[in-house]
Amino acid sequence: MNTTAGPATGGVLTRRRFFEGLAAVGGISLALSGMDALGFGMASATELPPTLTGDAKGTRILILGAGLAGMTAAYELSKAGYQVQILEARSFAGGRCQTSRKGFEHTDLLGNKQTCEFDDGLYINHGAWRIPYHHRSTLHYTKLFGVLLESFVNDNDAAYVFFEKGEGPLKGKPIRKGEIAADARGYAAELIAKAASKGELDAALTPADREKFVAYMINEGRLSPKDLAYTGTEGRGFSVHPGAGTSPGPGKELPPFAFKDVLDSGAWRVLSSVTGYEQQRTMLQPIGGMDQIAKGFEKQVGAMIRYSTVVEKIKQTDKGVKVAFKEASGKTGEIEADYCICTIPLSVLKQIDLDASAPFKAAMAGVSYAPVNKIGLQMKTRFWEDKHHIYGGHIYNDIPGIGTITLPSTGWQSQKGVLLGFYNFGGQAARISAMKPAERAAFAVAGGQKVFPEYAENFENAFSFCWHLAEFNLGGWAEWGEDGRRDAYPLLCEPDGRLYLAGEHLSYLGGWQAGAIESAWQQIAKIHARVQQV
């Protein structure tokens, strides 16, 4: 593996590594809920772009990178009268806002070349893939550009939990998340309600409060009002479903698992009283793929983009910037501008000949990037709907290297579908990315087969993407430690001469599209204020 792809943090337990550990135990939902619990919520802080009033004074702006940060800056600055040009290393715009569908090509740093072979109309968002309702900056542009949205099922009680590392009779068995939720909460409510009814919580409750609290526990845990016992609930499902006529009659509820078995299984780890703020149960996604957002921007600023143009050198003086580039044809050249907004990931920018101050370069050098992999698996039937009655959501599991299996939230009841076969980070991502694409697919299918008996027989083809092996990314997102946030981050948020940085790495919304957009808003406001003072 190319050693520049996603530098490791060694033995230091960063917050990101801690959250990856949570993901390995309880899935992505648990990890991101943990981030929220420690004060690292992913809520968008800004709703609208800055108002750029005043004369642009013929100022030329050169933007490096046509991801969402770069195109956001280009769109807003050009509206204000600035002369804008964008250099983009790829042959298409969008940065990490990518979707793989039929014909999409990618060659990674190990030389693995893939061409997506999904059927027409099928796709996987191998980059950004969901939008919380409170990422108002992202939603500002989807509405402005007419990018239609649909629901992304981010949590589903009908989906399975599959834990191999637990104990007891539930170990290594697919269990409905709703069954685990009902039983874990029901038994817990029973214990609390019985303690409260006996006055054992009197230090915290008045007699009147105690009566109300017990009533709440009865409702929360679906307990018997008579003896405060939890014996199951119809909400967790039926072994025989109710139907018409006298047979099958009213239905037969599934009996609850024993409380000890629920605890021993470890499956309770996926539960929380409420979702993490950034991980709403229902989120949003563009109809037709996440790259519809990139295409919406591209319609506005596409004429400003110079594609397949790789930045080789960035030089600046007191009066402007000069950027040397190389095109895909081999032709080289230079472009001059008054200011430069660089949205190139720091993992890549560190390898470019950059004219910047020593403290600025030192700050860049202290940021590592996360190894991240995704794989899309095309299945010839939607067996998860037809056989298991699961419509969207995640299959939480503790299978090493799988992370999370996610079922599509689009194309309901059609013949075929593409599901997310794995989503892994850190060391697991590094290990799996060393495999050939066919080996990655076989690994993903073997993992999913443990949960769904129909997995292998329905698999048709796959497309995998390793962000730390992508030449113009070298990682999924920036990983900031405490020291970096304190010392390096504030320095990089300010300009170095006439150079301004933007991107998800210059936000507290790391890995989210809103982070890229809002970082661009911050920097264009600073440039505009500076121009007005000239």
What pLDDT score does 12 carry?
A: 40
What is the mean predicted confidence (pLDDT) over 362-371? Answer: 93
Rounded Cα–Cα distance for residues 34 and 29 (Å) = 8
pLDDT of 15 > 60? The answer is no
Looking at per-residue pLDDT, the higher value among 249 and 385 belongs to 385
Structure-block tokens of residue 322: 């000069």
Beta strands in 200-272 (DSSP E): 238-240, 252-253
- Which pLDDT tens digit goes with each residue over 504-533? 999 999 999 999 999 999 999 999 999 999
pLDDT bucket at 269, cuts 50 / 70 / 90 = confident
Instruction: State the Cα torsion 64-69-70-76 to the nearest 10°.
Output: -140
Rounded Cα–Cα distance for residues 511 and 479 (Å) = 9
Phi and psi at 87, nearest 5°, equal -105, 130
Q: What are the residues whose beta carbons fall under 8 Å from the beta carbon of 329, sequence distance 6 or more?
A: none
Strand partners, 334: 324
What pLDDT score does 7 carry?
A: 33
Instruction: For the chain, list the domains and their CATH numbers.
Output: 15-37+100-159+280-289+370-469 (3.90.660.10), 60-89+292-356+496-533 (3.50.50.60), 177-265 (1.20.1440.240)
Structure-block tokens of residue 73: 């800056």
Q: What is the phi-psi region of residue 265: left when phi exceeds 0, alpha when psi lies from -120 to 50, beta otherwise?
A: alpha
- Which pLDDT tens digit goes with each residue over 119-151? 999 999 999 999 999 999 999 999 999 999 999
Q: Which residue has the tokens 């038994």?
A: 187
Rounded Cα–Cα distance for residues 280 and 269 (Å) = 17
Q: Which residue has the tokens 């770069």?
A: 70
- Which pLDDT tens digit goes with each residue over 196-217? 888 777 777 788 888 888 888 8
Q: What are the residues whose beta carbons fall under 8 Å from the beta carbon of 439, sequence distance 6 or more?
A: none
pLDDT of 74 > 50? The answer is yes
pLDDT bucket at 247, cuts 50 / 70 / 90 = low
Q: If you write DSSP's letter for every residue of 280-322 in order, what string do you get?
A: -SEEEEETT-THHHHHHHHHHHGGGEE-SEEEEEEEE-SS-EE
What pLDDT score does 205 carry?
A: 74
Rounded Cα–Cα distance for residues 63 and 70 (Å) = 6
What pLDDT score does 34 carry?
A: 40
Mean pLDDT, rounded, of the chain: 89
What pLDDT score does 249 carry?
A: 66
What is the mean predicted confidence (pLDDT) over 386-394? Answer: 97
H-assigned helices in 135-230: 136-144, 177-197, 207-221
Distances 265 to 130, 273, 446 between C-alpha atoms, Å: 30, 19, 22
Rounded Cα–Cα distance for residues 523 and 354 (Å) = 19
What is the mean predicted confidence (pLDDT) over 169-191? Answer: 93
Structure-block tokens of residue 327: 């095109």
- Give the percent of the chain with pLDDT over 90: 75
What pLDDT score does 5 carry?
A: 34
